[in-house]
Structure 1
């Protein structure tokens, strides 16, 4: 379980393709404090640590993860948002995030406003996911509030601090991102419209 509050950034130093899996080596300041088999969210994808050496660690993504996320777009030297699992009893500063990506979204517009940057994302309707204005959404692991919600499209406003300290500074038009929709909203949608699932 995560909160969507990014702790730090990591840098991909190696990507090793092994049959249908990807082994990713990540360099980060949190590496020395990690443990084998610990869960860490990487751009919102929950991956288990399989190896640690000094300031680098390795995680493995399987075929299903590669197919359902934007992890296949990652390259060596890319930065990724990192968050360790929430400790029981900690404040929940973001919202309840599972680290299970629902689908990939695409950036369709970026508007620079006084004090914030507004990003608009679209997503395919095939998964029947929804957003609501002022509801929660997780983009590449970052817990955000939806500003405007339309059918298969939504926007979020990013404050300068978040822009500077997450991978949002690298998001451009047509950038693919990992989306995790609000878990409570997903249950409500399934209960009220079971025919869609």
Structure 2
């Protein structure tokens, strides 16, 4: 009978000193650091499943069944060519994220899943969107953009000043918080190398709150 292996690590063979070490394997986590952009090339629907075809330069490196974050949503690569890849989405995901409003030709933030032997540049991101927010204002100060977002009152408990948050898959820091409204300052590099370059007032965005913040709030709400 085959032994069960922990999904986060595997036992390597003993070294010459007789020690056994744990070696990290792949995970389904992300960092919120966008490494590539894609373009929505096609949308197909069949038997309650929507298939998005996304063109990107990183398509040749992808693998079938690989997890990839698209606009902050963890999806699975079901097929790919050297030019594009396909992901399948069900109605629940379409209704709880911005995916139901996607249009052909729009740009998309992409991030492949984190390997546990990589450095963590952003913060731990699951790709499980907590809800949709709205861009309420964009203020320009020299080369920087101060972008205000608004979320529901229910989501406001997870908005923590100077905490981490993921907006459309991008790891960001909360600069100011005013109830369900919060402001993020976006530096020129991030603005130019993500889909934020096309952001405007009224746009909907995918929001994922920091997993540690969500856990703490969840526990506190259940304390007597």
In the superposition, the TM-score normalised over structure 2's length comes to 0.84
The separation in 1 between residues aligned to 2:216 and 2:192, in whole angstroms, is 34
Of 37, 57, 64, 1:29 maps to: 57
Structure 2 contact 131–208 (Cα < 8 Å) conserved: yes
Measured after TM superposition, the shift of residue 128 of structure 1 is 5.7
Partner of 2:184: 156
**2:17 is the counterpart of 1:17:** no
The higher radius of gyration belongs to 2
The separation in 2 between residues aligned to 1:134 and 1:27, in whole angstroms, is 35
Higher RCO (CA-CA < 8 Å; seq separation 6+):
1
Partner of 2:9: none
Q: Tell me, which stretches of 5 or more residues in structure 1 are unaligned?
A: none
Of 97, 103, 111, 1:83 maps to: 111
Q: Tell me, which stretches of 5 or more residues in structure 2 are unaligned?
A: 1-28
Structure 1 contact 130–152 (Cα < 8 Å) conserved: no
1:105-132 residue CA offsets vs partner (Å, 9 max, x unmatched):
0000000012310110001123464211
Partner of 2:92: 64
3-state SS of the aligned residue for 1:36? coil
Structure 1 contact 103–178 (Cα < 8 Å) conserved: yes
Measured after TM superposition, the shift of residue 69 of structure 1 is 0.3
The separation in 2 between residues aligned to 1:186 and 1:98, in whole angstroms, is 12
Of 141, 146, 153, 2:174 maps to: 146
Partner of 2:16: none
Q: Give the superposed CA RMSD.
A: 1.2
Partner of 1:93: 121
Number of residue pairs the alignment of both structures matches: 195
Structure 1 contact 3–86 (Cα < 8 Å) conserved: yes
1:153-182 residue CA offsets vs partner (Å, 9 max, x unmatched):
111000001111100011111100000001
Measured after TM superposition, the shift of residue 47 of structure 1 is 0.4
Per the alignment, do residues 128 and 112 of structure 1 end up closer, same or farther by CA in structure 2, a change over 3 Å counting?
closer
3-state SS of the aligned residue for 1:156? strand
Measured after TM superposition, the shift of residue 7 of structure 1 is 0.5
